[in-house]
Amino acid sequence: GAVVSQHPSWVICKSGTSVKIECRSLDFQATTMFWYRQFPKQSLMLMATSNEGSKATYEQGVEKDKFLINHASLTLSTLTVTSAHPEDSSFYICSAHLVTQGGTEAFFGQGTRLTVV
């Protein structure tokens, strides 16, 4: 199947600094990618839809100035957590969808565990 690579898998940063997380579709092009946040023992919460060549679409309640999304190419989307604070500590997951004759399927990155200290 298709592969989505997310990097880094974990990161620790100091409060007030910014962290960039990359999401790459390795063997297919993705005009749309998705960023999720997952709290411990909870489901995936959609943060935003990343659109290649245009602005991201944020879900209600997600601060667009804190979570900057850039989708500059058909294989790369980045999520930058700006001025990170301890409450931003979480597990972040990206996904890209592949549409084939058989239908649509989502492929997920490995996730990034962010710890802000």
Partner 1 sequence: AQTVTQSQPEMSVQEAETVTLSCTYDTSESNYYLFWYKQPPSRQMILVIRQEAYKQQNATENRFSVNFQKAAKSFSLKISDSQLGDTAMYFCAFVGFGNEKLTFGTGTRLTIIP
Interaction site with partner 1 (CB under 8 A): 1, 32, 34, 38, 41-44, 46, 49, 91, 93, 95, 97, 103-106, 108, 110-111
The runs of H, that is alpha helices, within the chain are: none
Select 18 or 110, whichever has its Cβ closest to partner 1: 110
Select 82 or 91, whichever has its Cβ closest to partner 1: 91
Select 81 or 96, whichever has its Cβ closest to partner 1: 96
Spatial separation of the C-alpha atoms in residues 32 and 39, rounded to whole Å: 23
Q: How far is the CB of 107 from partner 1 (least distance, A)?
A: 8
Contact between residue 90 and residue 114 where contact means Cβ atoms under 8 Å apart: yes
For residue 102, give the H/E element and its range: none
